[in-house]
Amino acid sequence: MADAPKALTTHALLTMKAERRPIVMLTCYDALFARLLDESGVDILLVGDSVNQVLAGAATTLSATLDQMIYHTRIVRRGAEHAMVVCDLPFLTYQVSREEALANAGRVMKETGCHAVKLEGGVHMAPTVRALVDIGIPVMGHIGLTPQSVHALGGYRVQGRDDVTAERLKTDARALEEGGAFAIVLELVPAPLAREITKSLTIPTIGIGAGPHCDGQVLVLHDMLGLNDRFSPKFVKRYATLADDVRRAVQTYARQVRDGTFPDDQHSFER
């Protein structure tokens, strides 16, 4: 029997940083896209709580539930053979107590087969990161713009533009590394600050709206494919315009159904 394909490991990510090989991460919410991304060579599939906005139509990530994240992570894991699968821990599943964080993260790992969890926060979350790592759960950190704190931050704004918040982010990054995080997402951080943080750490940084100097990059899949064409912030580059393709395809299908040209003989069965 052939050996099962091995997913990318946290140790492999450290090697990629040391060798200056950029890390490619995209969000993913289902098995079909997981297979396509995996076959395309994506290193990490992040089952982000952004699913609550992208697929569920919510205004923020805050109402995402643990059951929701477990469902989507489980089906993403079915489609991924080589990529690392990381699950976002949703709001209030890890902030209330360390015990709840351990129980909820453990449930995610057991029920989904994912390789790691991600949580938001810096210094104040470092002890929770350490507790999770100590029981064998790999943790990806997330600082800068942290969507679960969007209201406290005053909206979706770049973080670290002044000296005080810049120093705070540098301290947060060091605390997460010392707590045992294997990587850190830097979201909406000025490029010079992201570069400084990246150079100061032995673990990889993965940027979104944080410039070109991070060890890797992540985008929301539906944004970069042009499926979510009503959302176009500065940091998103569209690599396709699939929303237009979908509209054209559906309009053609509807027209052919209505004028009786579909289905034709080619798409029908004889007795």
Are the C-beta atoms of 213 and 200 separated by less than 8 Å? no
- Of 121, 123, 87, 122, nearest to 105 (Cα)? 87
> CA–CA separation, 199 vs 125, rounded Å?
22
Dig out the tokens for 74 from the structure.
């489980």
DSSP state of 141: E
User: Is-catalytic flag, 100?
Assistant: no
Q: What are phi and psi of 84, to 5 degrees?
A: -75, 135
User: Kind and range of the H or E element at 222?
Assistant: helix 221-224
Which of 19, 187, 196, 270 is catalytic? The answer is: 187
227: left (phi over 0), alpha (psi -120 to 50) or beta: alpha
Are the C-beta atoms of 199 and 5 separated by less than 8 Å? no
User: Kind and range of the H or E element at 103?
Assistant: helix 98-112
**Active site amino acids:** 187
